């Protein structure tokens, strides 16, 4: 089940009615069963996988907390991490590594048999695996106490708003929120609904409107003009941003309606002045997870510059691989790792250059933002391309500067519509405007609800409601 579907609109209506009519354990059971229905609607067979992961880490967490034997506790945490990564690795990376190994063997003149299996990737496995695994790690570090209520823990792992595409919530932040009932609050409902509508606008009106243009550019780059493909790259940077941040907005808004608080997952990342800043604004729940459970355990910035650069690169490579079983994702991670290393190396020279040129602060910041955004778009080429050959064609077409003019852009109506929608997005983000300001103009709650319903259907008509899944479902 996906947010941008009529099925979900029916589901969430009945879910809220039942959820707020119950209290205590009844409400916990509604969260759990409703979330399993939400997840199982896509493929009920994978309910066993999320159920097993939940039961395994629940049991291991209690065993770790009840033991003072450090050797035994280490064995348990190694088992938890290994088992979780094996599940993730099998479903997500088996064919990738099998194909890569076969190609390597073929390079030496051997011809091994095809070992590729037909493996269906469970939606959201990367998200709930990281969420459940971080719970056992935190218990091992003695940062949290284990949750002894299995229903509460299962509801924490599977709660539907963030289940299939994040944000990745931490047990220490989220489990305590289950321990008290949340009363119906009209202001919280309207605030959450505002966030949901903004998420739908990003996903349906912007991301889905840009999708056909982007698909054309990355399917047949060699047959298009350089200006058309360049515009397609820019459109993709906003398509993936609006698609994923739109999902996060919907999840955060739904959680707010239910009385929960999720971590912010995006903070205007394309206004970043450095790549370090970019990764504190883009997919915050993942970047902070990689920082706390990978970068810092590797040594972080301790041990000298070379080890710091190594840790940065490893973290970004694994972050790239987390996104998908493809060498282009790994190279995308390599690029972002390289960006951060190079940034640290040349930062002192950049500061001196700005001082010599006597550039105003606003100009400096603008140049920094433009540089970070441009290099981010370059990395997006590899993220979006299924193969290096396609990425090379895209880059070659842009750098050829053949027919580099507006007249050579195909589908001008779609292009103009996309530019206008992006302008609206940037205006809202720069001014920090939100739909809830409109509440000041509509005093009566019922009229607000009617107005929001009208806004929703306008958004649906602007895009292709129900036609496109969220991009991050594949991760």
Active site amino acids? 323
Q: What stretches of 223-274 show up as alpha helix (H) in DSSP?
A: 226-258
Q: What span, in angstroms and rounded, lies between the C-alpha atoms of 179 and 152?
A: 8
Q: What span, in angstroms and rounded, lies between the C-alpha atoms of 236 and 242?
A: 10
Q: Could you tell me how many residues make up the chain? A: 475
Copy the structure tokens of residue 54.
Answer: 């939940």
End-to-end, the C-alpha distance of the chain in Å comes to 16
Q: Alpha-carbon dihedral of residues 175, 176, 182, 186, nearest 10 degrees?
A: -80
Copy the structure tokens of residue 235.
Answer: 């459109």
Residue 57: asked if its preceding bond is cis (omega within 30°), the reply is no
Other Cβ atoms less than 10 A from the Cβ of 375: the count is: 18
Q: What span, in angstroms and rounded, lies between the C-alpha atoms of 237 and 388?
A: 18
Q: Contact 57/135 with Cβ under 8 angstroms? A: yes
Q: In the block, which residue shows the tokens 């399917």?
A: 219
Q: What span, in angstroms and rounded, lies between the C-alpha atoms of 7 and 41?
A: 10
* 3-class SS of residue 447: helix
Q: Contact 394/381 with Cβ under 8 angstroms? A: yes
Q: What span, in angstroms and rounded, lies between the C-alpha atoms of 432 and 453?
A: 23
């Amino acid at each position: 089940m996906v947010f941008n579907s009529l099925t979900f609109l029916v589901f969430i209506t009945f879910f809220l009615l039942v959820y707020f009519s119950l209290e205590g354990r009844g409400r916990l059971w509604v969260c759990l069963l409703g979330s399993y229905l939400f997840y199982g609607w896509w493929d009920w067979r994978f309910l066993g996988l999320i159920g097993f992961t939940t039961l395994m880490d629940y049991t291991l967490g209690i065993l770790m907390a009840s033991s003072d034997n450090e050797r035994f506790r280490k064995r348990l945490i190694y088992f938890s991490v290994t088992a979780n990564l094996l599940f993730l690795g099998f479903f997500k990376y088996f064919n990738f590594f099998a194909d890569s190994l076969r190609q390597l063997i073929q390079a030496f003149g051997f011809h091994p048999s095809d070992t590729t299996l037909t493996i269906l990737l469970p939606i959201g496995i990367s998200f709930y695996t990281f969420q459940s695994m971080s719970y056992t790690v935190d218990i091992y570090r003695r940062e949290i106490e284990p949750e002894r209520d299995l229903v509460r823990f299962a509801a924490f792992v599977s709660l539907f708003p963030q289940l299939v595409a994040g944000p990745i919530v931490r047990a220490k932040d989220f489990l305590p929120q289950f321990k008290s009932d949340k009363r119906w609050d009209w202001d919280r409902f309207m605030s959450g609904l505002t966030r949901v509508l903004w998420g739908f606008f990003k996903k349906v009106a912007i991301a889905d409107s840009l999708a056909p243009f982007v698909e054309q550019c990355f399917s047949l780059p060699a047959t298009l003009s350089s200006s058309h493909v360049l515009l397609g790259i820019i459109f993709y940077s906003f398509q993936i941003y609006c698609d994923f941040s739109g999902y996060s907005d919907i999840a955060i808004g739904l959680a707010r309606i239910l009385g929960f608080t999720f971590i912010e997952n995006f903070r205007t990342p394309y206004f970043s002045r450095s790549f370090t800043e970019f990764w504190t604004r883009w997919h915050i729940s993942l970047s902070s997870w990689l920082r706390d459970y990978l970068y810092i355990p590797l040594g972080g910035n301790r041990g000298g510059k070379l080890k710091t650069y190594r840790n940065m690169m490893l973290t970004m490579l694994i972050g790239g691989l987390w996104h998908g079983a493809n060498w282009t994702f790994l190279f995308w991670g390599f690029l972002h790792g390289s960006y951060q290393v190079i940034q640290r190396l040349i930062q002192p020279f950049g500061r001196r250059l700005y001082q010599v040129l006597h550039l105003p602060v606003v100009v400096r910041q603008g140049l920094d933002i433009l540089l970070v955004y441009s290099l981010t778009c370059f990395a997006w080429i590899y993220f979006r391309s299924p193969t290096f050959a396609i990425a090379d064609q895209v880059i070659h077409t842009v750098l050829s500067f053949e027919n580099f003019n507006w007249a050579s852009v195909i589908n001008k109506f779609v292009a103009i519509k996309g530019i206008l929608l992006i302008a609206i997005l940037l205006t809202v983000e720069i001014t920090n405007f939100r739909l809830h300001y409109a509440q000041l103009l509509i005093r009566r709650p019922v009229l607000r609800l009617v107005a929001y319903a009208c806004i929703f259907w306008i958004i649906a008509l602007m895009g292709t409601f129900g036609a496109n899944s969220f991009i991050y479902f594949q991760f």
